Amino acid sequence: MTKKYPGHEARQTLRTEAERLVVSLSPEALIAQPNEILLHELLVHKIELEMQNEELRRAHTALEEARDHFVDLYEFAPVGYITITRDGLMSEINLTGADLLKVDRTKLLMRRFSQFVAAPDKDRWYRLFLSLMTTAPADKQAFDLQMLHPDGTVFYAHLDCLRHNPANAEPTLRVNLTDISKSKQIEQELRIAATAFESQEGIWVTDTDWVILKVNLAFTHITGFSAAEALGQTPNLLRSERHDQGFYAALWHTVNTTGAWQGEIWNRRKNGEDYPAWTSITAVYGDDGAVIYYVGMQSDISQQKTAAAPIEQGLS
């Protein structure tokens, strides 16, 4: 029994096709003499080699196209792909990832990923990274981080992480990085809206520096300040001269230690008129437990104060 070597059938197919082509070119080759048989064999072999070369060229072209397709999928994917070594260094990153971090890719290779994690989340990242690189089995984990651009601006990122354990190399962490800043902003705006507009009281919402971000319609009716006039200001916009600095210092101390304050405050309208307001100020906390907003609500109690004045005078 003849032993067939690898590729034998493909070789036979090529030869059969080559012989068919020779015969189609020269039918008389079928009744050839010995010298002519030799020439026939050489011609068949030549055509066979040409066919092999053509197949190799097609295979090479297909491989190049597949490689280019893979490169395009990797480099221009809608998410950043990052490979992090066990020492926390970025050994690979695609163009999308470099664009998300706003740094040229050549300057990112072998830099610490933690350099791009914002300070509030650095410790959390270190803990997660250690867990991902040491915990068995290597399960996929997903979480959000506050990250930094080189200019110091913060953006929110979602990370999908999975440890890769190659057979003859150290483990690495494969990371899919997605910018979720817009969705976070929408989420925060919805939280503000839900908090601020469920009430008919005059409401203002500030950031952690007490800069007013939003006011509702009742606020403008009570204070006389339009939304455009209030936004970017602080609640000091309403401050009258009836309370000293110690009063406001004690108020904010209570808010920052207990999360809320309520009581009577004399405010000042845009027209300069002072009015008493029953006010509550509440801190709004993020998922990490840190304050992200302050919400103030006030009710104009001028009429109640006016109605109560004769009674109080009579009692006195």
- Looking at residues 167-171, what average pLDDT do you find? 88
47 plus 120 within the same structural domain: no
298 plus 200 within the same structural domain: yes
Mean pLDDT of the chain: 84
Structure tokens at 251: 């108020």
Taking phi over 0 as left and psi of -120 to 50 as alpha, with beta for the rest, 110 belongs to left
Residue 111 or residue 1, greater confidence: 111
Closest C-alpha among 180, 168, 160, 179 to residue 84: 160
Using CA atoms, how far apart are residues 252 and 149, in angstroms rounded to an integer? 32
28, 49, 74: which is the final residue of a domain?
Answer: 74
| Full domain range(s) for residue 197 | 184-315
148, 179, 210: which is the final residue of a domain?
Answer: 179
Structure tokens at 92: 């690979």
248 plus 280 within the same structural domain: yes
Predicted confidence at residue 292, as pLDDT, reads 94
189 plus 310 within the same structural domain: yes
For 298-309, the pLDDT digits (tens) are 999 998 888 766
- Looking at residues 123-150, what average pLDDT do you find? 91
For 207-234, the pLDDT digits (tens) are 999 999 999 989 999 999 999 999 999 9
DSSP 11-52: HHHHHHHHHHHHHHH-GGGGG--HHHHHHHHHHHHHHHHHHH
Q: Does residue 99 lie in a domain region? A: yes
Residues pairing with 296 in the sheet: 204, 281
Total number of domains constituting the chain = 3
Phi, psi of 286 (to 5 degrees): -85, -175
